[in-house]
Amino acid sequence: MRAPVYILKADGGTLPIEKSVEFPVETIFSGPAASTIGALALIPEGQTSVVVDIGGTTTDLALILSGKPLIASKGAKLGNFLTHVRAFAVRSIAVGGDSIVKVRETENGLRMITIGPERAGPAYCMGGEEPTPTDALRMLGLIEVGNPERANEAITVVASSLRKSETETASLIVETTAEMIAQAVREMFLEWEQEPAYRIWEVLQKKKERPENVVGIGGGAKGLISVVAEKLNAKPIIPDHSEVGNAIGAAVARPTLTLNLRIDTEQKVYSVAEEGEIASLKSTDIGNFNRMRSEEAEALATKLLRDRAKRFGISEYADEAEIVSSEVFNIVEGWFTAGRLFDVSMQISAGLIPEWNRGEKA
């Protein structure tokens, strides 16, 4: 293929590979970001949905509020560590279609199943060596992948250990897997509801409610999403091409860019956090620094973002940049105002490339 190469970032945007190598940390959580953008591309515009991407090893969770993916206000979180890398508010859990199904005995002598977190290659019905939720789904006829005889063989082994019928065992595996995912969504809502953007969305809705849709993405979505959605009292949606939804997300994501400008009129300097350099205000078109207004600060931020977008090779998206926040603080010395601090944040937010919006979805 002879085409420009872009790398997906945690905030659902892309960067040309030449620039991406300068900021490798921004590619963390790009997998969940791809699933989120894929769901955004495959469902009707403006909907509010929980995105559940069920893969072979993990399940990724994200949230779309009225057509906009929820951004984590404190950046990507790795364990208990905040990275401050701009990212969607996502979570990955260690359960998927190829997770190993095991039977263990409790202290009371009861036998129960566990799902994952280990994975030993593909499902048994796909040539693997261990029983998995995919085998249970295949046996129940909820999916059509893999060898049905091998799926039955895998479930029979588990059923024998549980002393249950094959159908009971397959249903129990599906039920247990779906409950693990549903419980993770419930726990994630406690985090999502603390996000400022979520609270604003609730205010705009004029009532407290959770999203009604659960969108299934990934190879493991069919057969599981309906059960997960039922547990969450939500409507299951499995869009066309959901199996490759994350690949579609990576293909149709447009570039994103962030700029945080600080201006200090007392010191007569400004700095862009993403550039890490301090420059003199005298190099700008601003006249009287002492009487500088917010409009002039925002104009400078817009110019700097355009310049940065040009350097990154994404100038065509600069017109879509928006001001996220704009604040001004007085610097007081003694009884007089000695200067002002202006903080302006701008961004080209995540979205879909124009070609996709024009209906070229083949």
Predicted confidence (pLDDT) per residue in 94-150, tens digit: 999 999 999 988 778 788 899 988 888 899 999 999 999 999 999 999 988 899 999
User: Cα–Cα distances in Å, from 84 out to 7, 11, 195, 221, 263?
Assistant: 19, 12, 14, 31, 22
Task: Give the SS3 label for residue 269.
Answer: strand
**Residue 130 confidence (pLDDT):** 93
**Residue 209 confidence (pLDDT):** 66
> What average pLDDT does this structure show over 275-281?
87
**pLDDT 10s digits, 285-326:** 776 777 788 999 999 999 999 999 998 888 988 998 999 899
Task: Give the SS3 label for residue 324.
Answer: strand
> What average pLDDT does this structure show over 154-182?
93
Q: Which of 17, 64, 44 is nearest to 350 (CA)?
A: 64
User: Cα–Cα distances in Å, from 115 out to 29, 59, 75, 123, 139?
Assistant: 23, 13, 30, 13, 17
Q: At what angle do helices 30-42 and 245-252 cross, to 10 degrees?
A: 90
Q: Pick the more confident residue, 107 or 339.
A: 339
- For residues 116 and 130, the answer to whether their CB atoms sit within 8 Å is no
Torsion of CA 73, 74, 78, 81, to 10 degrees: -160
pLDDT at 176 > cutoff 90: yes
Contacts 24+ apart (CB under 8 A), 77-85: 78/28, 83/25, 83/28, 85/10, 85/25, 85/26, 85/28
What's the one-letter identity of residue 181?
A: I
Q: Band the pLDDT of 344: cuts 50, 70, 90.
A: very high
> What average pLDDT does this structure show over 266-280?
89
**Residue 207 confidence (pLDDT):** 65
pLDDT at 79 > cutoff 80: no
**Residue 291 confidence (pLDDT):** 78
Q: Cα–Cα distance between 215 and 90 in angstroms, integer?
A: 14
**Per-residue DSSP letter, 253:** B
What's the one-letter identity of residue 170?
A: A
pLDDT at 86 > cutoff 50: yes
| Predicted TM-score (pTM) of this structure | 0.84
**pLDDT 10s digits, 189-242:** 888 888 888 888 888 777 666 778 999 998 888 889 999 999 999 999 999 889
- For residues 292 and 286, the answer to whether their CB atoms sit within 8 Å is yes
Q: Cα–Cα distance between 252 and 65 in angstroms, integer?
A: 19
- Strand 277-280 and strand 91-93: pairing? unpaired
Q: Cα–Cα distance between 71 and 56 in angstroms, integer?
A: 26
> What average pLDDT does this structure show over 7-29?
89
- For residues 254 and 234, the answer to whether their CB atoms sit within 8 Å is no
User: Cα–Cα distances in Å, from 62 out to 38, 44, 90, 220?
Assistant: 11, 17, 5, 16
Who contacts 340 (Cβ-Cβ below 8 Å, separation ≥6)? Answer: 263, 265, 266, 292, 328, 329, 330, 331
Q: Which of 173, 150, 179 is nearest to 103 (CA)?
A: 173
Least confident range from 201-210, 258-267, 341-350, 352-361: namely 352-361
> What average pLDDT does this structure show over 142-163?
92
Place of tokens 């603080």: 329
Q: What percent of the chain has pLDDT over 90?
A: 50
Highest mean pLDDT among 211-220, 245-254, 330-339: 245-254
The two structure tokens encoding residue 293 = 């207004």
**Residue 362 confidence (pLDDT):** 39
